[in-house]
Amino acid sequence: MAEMDLAQGVLAGDRLALARTLSQVENSTPEGRLALSTLFPHTGKSHLVGITGASGTGKSSLVNQLALFYRKPPQGELARRVAVVAVDPTSPFTGGAILGDRIRMRDLAGDPGVFIRSMATRGSLGGIASATAAVVQVLDAAGFDLILIETVGAGQSEVDIARLAHTTVVVEAPGLGDDIQAIKAGILEIADVLVVNKADLPGVENTERALRGSLGLAHPLPHRIMHHGRLDTVANQASQPDLTESIWMPPILRTVAIDGSGIPKLAEAITAHREYLERTGGWGQRERWRLQTELDMLLTNRLVDDFRSNLVAGAYERALESVLERRISPIQAVENLINNSSRAK
């Protein structure tokens, strides 16, 4: 298939073309980049929902339940087309987690309104974040109403991936002792919806209390406004005296992903957050913030790659040695590398 056909196939709803395009895009081949350029004008319609949290909290189970819910909504509501992107950089040797995810997803197998993609975890962390962004764009162009992006909340790269979303759901579970870890990772600061999954297990109240406490710290109002780049909201306050209308307080919800309890409420909160963004102009601001994050990410990767490829062989290693031996400072090392590489050209 030529690139043009690949992209046209995606737009026409051809699943084989979609799968092939995703592979090309994920591997950042020239065909993939071309397809992306054709598809990008067709993006911007999907609701991108990040689902993040520590390993084992039940994210895959929740995503599975959410997808089932969107496919078979309550009477009177339209079924939505759902794509799932699973990213798990903590399991570089595939198998385990991803296979497990695939097995749990089997409830959804054969449904043309669902598409599931596990990201290959090879490559740098920055690479995973930008590959995920590209994969999400293809799925957006393919017309999925919702794209659920599952990531393990373990570090900066996962926060970067979560930043690709309009709505971020942070998942906790009792008994993992990771409440503090979540705060450290800055995960709570990006949470739009908080979920205490495994609400069937003892200790739910403790987890909920810990979350409520840390949420107060992570979201003092002025900080939250700044954090999401919604400085405009501050300026708007005079004309919008009802502060509760313009500020979203992340709800804390309980779920049991193994039996589906709490899923309708979670889906409701996700919709409510989208409506809130649309009502307040936050959607446009989120889009700007999202795409800016992506541009910065691509620019950084590109510049670093170009820079490295222009360096004299061994120059980086030698600079590192000099820093290790305390002969030069890291800042001097960078200065030297930049001067040498521009001379090498």
Closer Cβ to ligand GDP, 112 or 202, answer by number: 202
Q: Site for ligand GDP (CB under 6 A): which residue of 47, 163, 166, 198?
A: 198
Q: Is the dihedral of CA 39, 44, 45, 51 positive or negative?
A: positive
Sheet containing 82-87: which strands, arranged edge to edge? Answer: 114-118, 82-87, 146-152, 47-53, 167-172, 193-196, 252-254
> In angstroms, what is the minimal distance from the CB of 254 to ligand GDP?
9
Q: Site for ligand GDP (CB under 6 A): which residue of 58, 89, 174, 282?
A: 58
Query: Would you count residue 59 as binding ligand GDP (CB under 6 A)?
Result: yes
Exposure string for 188-217, b = 16+ CB within 10 A, e = fewer? bbbbbbbbbbbbeeebbeebbebbeebbee
> Are the beta carbons of 6 and 101 closer than 8 angstroms?
no
117 binds, among ligand GDP, Mg ion, none (CB under 5 to 8 A by kind): none
295 binds, among Mg ion, ligand GDP, none (CB under 5 to 8 A by kind): none
23 binds, among ligand GDP, Mg ion, none (CB under 5 to 8 A by kind): none
Helix (H, G, I), strand (E, B) or coil at 151: strand
Which positions from 239 to 278 touch ligand GDP by CB under 6 A, shown as an x/- string? -----------------xxx--------------------
Q: Which residue is nearest to ligand GDP (CB)?
A: 58
Helices marked H in the chain? 3-11, 15-26, 30-39, 59-71, 96-104, 125-141, 156-162, 179-184, 204-218, 221-227, 231-236, 243-246, 263-280, 282-310, 315-324, 330-344
Helix (H, G, I), strand (E, B) or coil at 35: helix
| CA atoms of 117 and 94, how far apart (whole Å) | 13
Query: Would you count residue 157 as binding Mg ion (CB under 5 A)?
Result: no
> In angstroms, what is the minimal distance from the CB of 242 to ligand GDP?
36
Helix (H, G, I), strand (E, B) or coil at 5: helix
Closer Cβ to Mg ion, 63 or 131, answer by number: 63
Closest CA to 45 of 145, 135, 121, 115: 145
Query: Would you count residue 60 as binding ligand GDP (CB under 6 A)?
Result: yes
Q: Which tokens is 44 given? A: 């911007």
Q: Site for ligand GDP (CB under 6 A): which residue of 8, 28, 38, 55?
A: 55
Closer Cβ to ligand GDP, 56 or 186, answer by number: 56
Q: Site for Mg ion (CB under 5 A): which residue of 57, 60, 121, 151?
A: 60
Query: Would you count residue 61 as binding ligand GDP (CB under 6 A)?
Result: yes
* Interface ranges with Mg ion (CB under 5 A): 59-60
Positions that interact with ligand GDP (CB under 6 A):
55-61, 100, 197-198, 200-201, 256-258
